[in-house]
Amino acid sequence: MQRYVSVNAQGQAMFIRRNLAQNPDAFVRNPIVVQELKRQGINALPITLVDGQLVKTGEYPTINEFSSYLDMDLVAALVH
C-alpha cells in the first residue's frame, strides 16, 4: 500500500504512507527506518518521517502533531 494525500489546495504538503508487507523495499532503502526497526523492532511501527527526519515512532501522529511538524494549520484543511 502506498498512499499519497494532498492536504491543501496549494499542494504544499504531501503524505506518503507505505506498508511494510506490500512495499518492503521502501523500508530497507531508508537507513533511518532500518535503524529504528533494529533498535525497537516491530514496536517502532508506524514510523513517521518529515523531510527525511524521524519525528515519531510507535503510533500515528495526530493532525495537531502534523501541523506542528509542518508549521501549517492542517486542522483547517479537515473536511468535517
The 10s digit of each residue's pLDDT in 7-47 is 555 556 677 888 889 989 989 999 999 999 999 999 999 99
* Residue 34 maps to a domain: yes
C-alpha cell at 36: 529504528
Print the domain residue range for 58. 2-75
Number of domains in the chain: 1
pTM for this one?
0.77
Instruction: Estimate to the nearest angstrom the gap between the alpha carbon of 19 and the chain centroid.
Output: 11
Query: Of residues 51 and 56, which shows the higher confidence score?
Result: 56
* Residue 45 maps to a domain: yes
Residue 60 sits in a domain whose CATH number is: 3.40.30.10
